[in-house]
Amino acid sequence: MTGPDDWAPFVAAITEHQQRSERGGAFLRTAAEVEQGFADRAAFHRALHADDVTAEELAALCGATAGETARLRADLEPGTIRFTPAEPASCVIHLSRSFTRVSKLMGLDGTHKFLFATDYRYRPHASVQQWADSRYLVLMGRYVVQDMWALSLVLAQLVVVAGRAFPGLEEPWTHPDFPRVLLDTAHTNPYLHQQIAYGMCAMVEGERFRTAIGVHDDETLAPVMFEIARGAMDFLVGHELSHVYRGHLHAAGRPADESPWFAGEAFDRVRESPGGAAVVETYLRDYWPAHSLELEADRFAMMSAADAGASVARDLRLVGIEFAVSLLSFLDRASYLTEYGDDPAEAVGLREYSRVPGLVDVLLPMETHPWGKTRATAVTSEVQLVYRSLVDPAELRRKALLMQAVGNVLGSMSGRALNAIQWINSRPGESLAVILPDDKLLTHYWPPEATTDDDRLERLESSASLFYSDLTGADPRADAQTVATACRVAFARMREEQGILPEAILRIMSWYAPGGIPLDLFRQGDMFPADELDAALATLEEHSLIALDGSAVRVDPLVQAVGRDVDEVEEEEVFPAGETLDVAVVLLSSAVPEWHDPAGQPVWRELLPHIDAVAGHLADVEREPPLVLWNDTAQYLLDQGMVERGLGYALRALSDGQRLNGPDHPDTLALRHSLGLAYTAAGDHAEAISVLERIVADQERLLGARHPVTLTSRNSLASAHLAAGDFARAIALLERTVTDRRRALGRDHPHTLASQNDLAMAYSGAGELSRAIQLLRRVVARSERVSGADHPDVVIARGNLAYAYYAAGRVAEAIPLLERSVADHERVFGPDHPNTLTAHTVLTDAVEGAARPGGAPAGDP
């Protein structure tokens, strides 16, 4: 064991490192001013540990309150955390408070002792190192700690403004519609939205670039800001402590052949790009073992940061966690930019960074970030895994969507912030940016040789939303005019050389998302002969109107805008905008696979951005809506757990269907049924039951009580009652439906077996486990004989039987079945499907439950 005095040489070395880093990074401050700052901090630290200095006197030295300094001394009293004399008082206060909260929740004992230090130029944000037995150094970026609070203030203002849409709610962020309103608020309040972008730049550039933050006067702002900031800071500190708590500093991590669950879609996209397979394999071999430890640390940090007392997964703490996660993801990307001069999205061949959140971060070169860590993609999945046994599933989905909305707010500003960083680095002095509410940006720039009392500065005034749009700060509207002129010249030349086909294909592509447009869309059927299509694509690439990328193509958004426009100089419209949009819709509708087919998931993931884009364009024009495409998209999204998006498509399909066909048309009735399923998936049980009760009544009136379609809707109504916990009503409906389906369809029909599976789950929920097990055993045996062992419904039924055994306390029988269920789900649904994640969680609960006294289940399935 080492004694207390053994800290001294190590603290002195870290102090010298901090001072050397700050001296080299100072801009407008003179050398004398920097040294005076060191002296002032040293005086604060001496007073902090002096018995004859009161809390009020200490507060006067650092600009804090007496309550904060008294609490700081209490936090430092156990001696488990300490700081160097070069540490700013604000960092000491914030870090010690977070350390006290997190270490207590995590259960770290007093034998572990930590030195926290912030570095002026530290790029990897935070790291923990062991330097002696039970002694650790936690090194963090200075501006990551200091600017997190300023950025939390901006985000808190967005939360408060968005909350005004829900008058009367004390905590409006608990409303299911709040995530959507938050995104709308960000885009309709550029004053706040732009402050986030420039605040992100400040966190990267430190003293080189500062930005002033405007604050609205609102009494609810401070508590919201403190909750968000505490969630963010506790997560950052908790992540590093988790590495110690979980023994990661000397651990090997997960094996390279165990693919990360959160990146399936992203990896599929990269594998399809040129050289992409090698990129993914490199990640799995070189990055994933260490990255897996980062994700495990995140899970423990999340629980420590989001829980307080008896309250778990507190909403604003989760907002703060996602806020920190998204900022760290951005900082990894920005570090690569400042080190190598280009965007890592381009470096790994990904043009559309925003469509693969977090992927670029895991693929950063090892030399820029040894852990290659990302959290932007995994964290919303992790929160659902961590709290599955503690929080209602519908409530947990709502929390995950809230976190996702926060990530989207920051992600939407990443590109602009990176452009700003490039502009800042091209002018190696110091800048101060002030954003005004009328979209004005005032930038003061001092050259490198200037000082604080120097008046040699440039004053730049521009639009906050347009400045930094590229390296020159050019107005993108002027670029649009240039692109439009160049496109029309190219169109005329192509018509002369090859006719109208190249232009027609481009105009069809213009309705899709800019990147990742699958060429298979155009190769299906006989609409475009293969040789003519290849020649047209080559012509478009030759004129720089598209960029071919393996089996996909990218079109610049400015070129797409021209492609959607009707050329006014033509006497006759060769390409009416509506007709090219119709073709784009037909191609998508023909390409989408069955929504419930697991084999079709990669195609769905590829097409979803383009379905979203077409849906947006159709909202602005009068064309016949693709009802089947809307409904299939809704069902696929719901099946994948993307509930809010699925509900949006279900509502749109029904609205369009009623307008076209009337309320009693069979297609409209089917769409109303789909909407009921969407409400069930979204956890809005009352609305689901209301919709489904009406549809059952209408179908009984129009089709008859025992019509197969009516029975399907009645089964869905029973499932809604089951999801709402009304087991008695669910059982009554399902027993009737099973009887009617057996008569109408036969005992072994898949629909009859599906109703029996649902009835068994209702028995299980009502505590009638013996009846549930008996019925499920019959369902599994018959389903395997009728549909095959790997049919999705059969896999689900076997998993339900396994859980029923576990819920009944028959753990020894349950665990082998649960292990098979996990393997079945991974094979049939894929590793990232919500059903697969649930199967993993149930197995984990069972294994852990077997170790508990009595082997009791941890929660509901």
Residue 2 clears pLDDT 50, i.e. is over it: no
> According to the model, what pLDDT value does residue 371 have?
31
Instruction: Give the whole-angstrom CA distance, residue 231 versus residue 302.
Output: 9
> According to the model, what pLDDT value does residue 273 have?
65
> According to the model, what pLDDT value does residue 348 have?
42
> According to the model, what pLDDT value does residue 730 have?
92
Residue 397 clears pLDDT 80, i.e. is over it: yes
Mean pLDDT of the chain: 80
pLDDT band at 360 (very low <50, low <70, confident <90, very high): very low
pLDDT band at 35 (very low <50, low <70, confident <90, very high): very high
> According to the model, what pLDDT value does residue 46 have?
95
- Nearest 5°: the CA angle 179, 204, 183 is 15
Most confident of 353-357, 443-447, 550-554: 550-554
Instruction: Give the whole-angstrom CA distance, residue 574 versus residue 586.
Output: 19
> According to the model, what pLDDT value does residue 51 have?
92
Residue 372 clears pLDDT 70, i.e. is over it: no
Is residue 320 within 8 A of residue 228, CB to CB? The reply is yes
> For 101-130, how does the pLDDT look when each residue is reduced to its tens digit (9 = 90+)?
999 888 787 889 999 999 877 665 788 888
Nearby residues of 762 by Cβ (< 8 Å), 6 or more positions away: 718, 722, 727, 730, 731, 734
Tell me the sheet residues that pair with 460. Answer: 443
> According to the model, what pLDDT value does residue 15 have?
93
Helix (H), strand (E) at residue 640: none
Sheet architecture: strand order including 547-549 = 517-518, 552-554, 547-549
Q: Mean pLDDT over residues 400-429, rounded?
A: 77
Residue 197 clears pLDDT 70, i.e. is over it: yes
Q: Mean pLDDT over residues 393-411, rounded?
A: 84
Q: Mean pLDDT over residues 206-233, rounded?
A: 86
Cα distances from 217 to residues 54, 161, 185, 196, 673, in angstroms, run 33, 11, 18, 18, 47
> For 751-793, how does the pLDDT look when each residue is reduced to its tens digit (9 = 90+)?
999 999 999 999 988 889 889 899 989 999 998 888 888 888 8
What's the maximum distance between 2 C-alpha atoms anywhere in the chain?
Answer: 92
Least confident interval from 82-91, 232-241, 626-635, 799-808? 799-808
pLDDT band at 262 (very low <50, low <70, confident <90, very high): low
Nearby residues of 763 by Cβ (< 8 Å), 6 or more positions away: 731, 769, 771, 772, 775
Instruction: Give the whole-angstrom CA distance, residue 209 versus residue 429.
Output: 9
Q: Which amino acid is at 603?
A: V
Cα distances from 813 to residues 10, 800, 805, 809, 850, in angstroms, run 56, 13, 7, 9, 11
Distance of CA 326 to the CA centre of its chain: 8
> For 814-843, how does the pLDDT look when each residue is reduced to its tens digit (9 = 90+)?
888 888 888 888 888 877 677 777 777 777
Nearby residues of 285 by Cβ (< 8 Å), 6 or more positions away: 256
For residues 741, 747, 751, 756, the Cα torsion angle rounded to the nearest 10 degrees is 90
E-only strand ranges, 505-617: 517-518, 547-549, 552-554
Residue 681 clears pLDDT 70, i.e. is over it: yes
> According to the model, what pLDDT value does residue 463 have?
61
> For 550-606, how does the pLDDT look when each residue is reduced to its tens digit (9 = 90+)?
788 988 877 888 888 765 434 445 667 678 899 999 999 999 998 877 788 889 988
Identify the sign of the CA torsion 510, 513, 514, 519. Answer: negative
Instruction: Give the whole-angstrom CA distance, residue 535 versus residue 525.
Output: 18
Residue 12 clears pLDDT 80, i.e. is over it: yes
Identify the sign of the CA torsion 274, 279, 284, 288. Answer: negative
Percent residues over pLDDT 70 in the chain: 82
Instruction: Give the whole-angstrom CA distance, residue 423 versus residue 458.
Output: 14
Cα distances from 31 to residues 25, 176, 451, in angstroms, run 11, 54, 10
Q: Supply the DSSP symbol for 832.
A: T
Residue 374 clears pLDDT 60, i.e. is over it: no
> According to the model, what pLDDT value does residue 356 have?
32
pLDDT band at 342 (very low <50, low <70, confident <90, very high): low
The stretches of 789-832 forming alpha helices (DSSP H) are 792-807, 811-828
CA atoms within 13 A on the CB side of 88: 17
- With H, G, I as helix, E, B as strand and everything else as coil, classify residue 571: coil
> According to the model, what pLDDT value does residue 570 have?
45
Identify the sign of the CA torsion 476, 478, 484, 490. Answer: negative
Query: Among 186, 199, 356, which Cα is nearest to 263's?
Result: 356
Query: Among 253, 281, 288, 286, which Cα is nearest to 267's?
Result: 281
